[in-house]
């Protein structure tokens, strides 16, 4: 467990909760996959808040190193693949994440941080399903590919 | 005001994801790797977030309308249908393979890593394919 970061992860999680609270005070659920997918294509009158939220995500993350944040994750390659193989894996993963979160109406933020906060049975079911599948996926990858 | 609140929420969310370590695919896979060198951090991120929302959402949703907007736009479905489960299964598969979910992927565009651009491009492609197949267009 030498990579465990209880304090920064808990504090980061609390900040995600505060951000989600703020957006609900504006009437919206902070589900990142939903905010993105209803922007493709943009609908008039419903696009600006989505673009601003995503711009905020990028600028907020960009501010992290300015506060002395650890940037060693930039070369993260969990399964120690070659560069080309890692690209192929990320493209397959991206297609699955995009399609899956659209069909399943949410991801770790919408179903996780917000849906569990609303005590939604749909969200609890989704979180348990994608967590279980992801755990099995990582187990298979570690067994087959290693890393 | 609504749009400014959305921007501030996004700024906090992006910073929170970076601080929590969730922008690192290795850290996410480390959490999912129960039989390996397990890193429980992701549970603390989710726990910290839900700790706040489970209290604040209850209070906010008791109000007749949101503080910074006209009306609440909330999910209306309550049934556990095949779309919910099959979508979650596809997402879990992609999440385990890449170690990236939508929030950290979009946030990490900040760091200019071409692999993240490839992932986000594919994610947009996945949304388009799913919309086409489910007849949303």
pLDDT digits (tens, 9 = 90+) for A34-79: 999 999 999 999 999 999 999 999 999 999 999 998 898 988 999 9
| Residue of chain B with shortest Cα separation from A93 | B94
Where do the domains of chain A lie?
6-144
Residues 6+ apart with CB under 8 A from A61: B14, B15, B17, B18, B23, B107, B108, B110, B111
Does the predicted interface ipTM exceed a cut of 0.90? Answer: yes
Q: Under a CB-based contact definition with an 8 Å cutoff, are residues B41 and A5 in contact?
A: yes
Where do the domains of chain B lie? Answer: 2-133
Q: Which residues of chain A are within 8 Å of residue B29 when distances are taken between CB atoms?
A: 78-79, 138
Chain B residues with beta carbon closer than 8 angstroms to that of A2 = 37
**A98, B85: Cβ pair inside 8 Å?**
no
Put simply, the answer to whether A137 touches B32 (Cβ < 8 Å) is yes
What CA–CA distance (Å, rounded) separates A63 from B56? 26
Q: Do B92 and A16 touch (CB under 8 A)?
A: no
| Nearest chain A CA: its distance from B32 CA (Å) | 5
Q: Within 10 A of B68 (CB to CB), how many other CB atoms are there?
A: 18
DSSP run (H or E) holding B50: helix B41-60
Does residue A16 carry a pLDDT above 60?
yes
Ranges of chain B with pLDDT below 50? none
Task: Quickly tell me which residue has 């651009």 as its tokens.
Answer: B117
The share of chain A scoring above pLDDT 90, in percent, equals: 90
SS (H, E, C) A2-49: CCCCHHHHHHHHHHHHHHHHHHHHCCECCCHHHHHHCCCCCCCCCCHH
**pLDDT tens-digit readout, B68-102:** 989 999 999 999 999 999 999 999 999 999 999 99
Which residue in the set A63, A71, A93 is minimally distant from B94, CB to CB? A93
With beta carbons less than 8 A apart as the criterion, state whether B41 and B27 touch.
yes
Contact A12 B45 (CB under 8 A): yes
């Amino acid at each position: 467990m030498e990579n465990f970061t209880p304090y920064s992860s808990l504090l980061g999680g609390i900040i995600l909760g505060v951000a989600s609270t703020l957006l609900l005070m504006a009437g919206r659920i902070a589900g990142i996959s939903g905010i993105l997918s209803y922007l493709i294509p943009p609908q008039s009158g419903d696009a600006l808040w989505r673009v601003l939220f995503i711009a905020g995500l990028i600028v907020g993350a960009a501010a992290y190193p300015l506060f002395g944040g650890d940037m060693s994750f930039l070369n993260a390659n969990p399964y120690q693949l070659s560069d080309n193989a890692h690209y192929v894996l990320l493209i397959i993963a991206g297609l699955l994440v995009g399609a899956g979160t659209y069909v399943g109406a949410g991801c770790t933020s919408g179903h996780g941080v917000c849906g569990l906060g609303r005590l939604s049975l749909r969200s609890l079911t989704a979180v348990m399903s994608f967590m279980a599948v992801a755990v099995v996926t990582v187990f298979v990858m570690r067994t087959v590919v290693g890393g | 005001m609504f749009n400014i609140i959305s921007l501030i929420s996004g700024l906090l969310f992006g910073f929170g994801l970076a601080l929590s370590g969730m922008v690192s695919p290795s850290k996410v896979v480390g959490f999912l790797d129960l039989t390996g060198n397990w890193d429980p951090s992701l549970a603390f991120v989710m726990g910290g977030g839900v700790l706040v929302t489970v209290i604040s959402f209850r209070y906010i949703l008791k109000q007749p309308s949101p503080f910074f907007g006209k009306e609440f736009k909330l999910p209306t479905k309550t049934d556990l249908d095949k779309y919910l489960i099959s979508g979650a299964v596809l997402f879990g598969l992609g999440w385990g393979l890449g170690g990236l979910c939508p929030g950290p992927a979009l946030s990490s565009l900040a760091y200019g890593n071409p692999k993240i651009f490839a992932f986000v491009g594919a994610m947009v492609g996945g949304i388009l394919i799913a919309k086409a197949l489910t007849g949303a267009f």
